[in-house]
Amino acid sequence: MPQTQTPLGSTMQVMGFMLAAPVPEPDRCELILRGLVEHVGMRTGGLKAQVWLYPTPDGCGGQGATVVQPLLESFAVFTGIDTWPCIGHWYLFLCTCRPVAIDFVSSFLTEELGFGLLASGEFRLSEAEKEP
């Protein structure tokens, strides 16, 4: 009997990771996201990561980059802000309709890629939790 799958979009898991500086360069961010996608067994469907660099031409947005990798199962976002050196960290977010253990992602970031993990957290939203 085929396994029943939850329709994509009916549940969303959001994970966030605060990682120690230095903030990787945008091209390295794309490689990090590509590795993360492969590690968690998701797919990009051939969609390329998008990169936005800051400051914008009109001088807004601080200094840094936002890199987004669309997934067939949602998306992964790398956000690096290097405007205030005293902050000393950067962020990575994984949003997915498919369940993934946060420890599985944490170990990839720390043990396989060697980043220092300062904090992490997650939450889930589902159709069952919608307010009437």
Domain at 74, CATH number: 3.60.90.10
- How many domains, in total, are found in the chain? 1
**Nearest-CA neighbor of 26 among 5, 4, 62, 54?**
54
Q: What is the mean pLDDT of residues 25-31?
A: 87
Supply the range of the domain harboring residue 40.
11-122
pLDDT, position 90: 87
Domain for residue 60, yes or no? yes
Q: What is the mean pLDDT of residues 19-24?
A: 83
**Residue that has been written with the tokens 């067994």 in this structure:** 41
pLDDT, position 3: 45
Which 8-state DSSP code applies to residue 87? Answer: T
Domain for residue 2, yes or no? no
The most distant pair of C-alpha atoms in the chain lies apart, rounded to whole Å, by 58
Q: How far apart, in whole angstroms, are the C-alpha atoms of residue 41 and residue 77?
A: 16
Domain for residue 131, yes or no? no
Domain for residue 26, yes or no? yes
Of 3-7, 50-54, 91-95, 109-113, the poorest mean pLDDT is in: 3-7
Can you count the helices (H) and strands (E) in the chain? 2, 6
Domain for residue 128, yes or no? no
Domain for residue 130, yes or no? no
Task: List Cβ neighbours of 65 (8 Å cut-off, separation of 6 or more).
Answer: 25, 26, 29, 51, 52, 53, 54, 78, 79, 80
Domain for residue 4, yes or no? no
Average pLDDT value over all residues in the chain:
83
Domain for residue 65, yes or no? yes
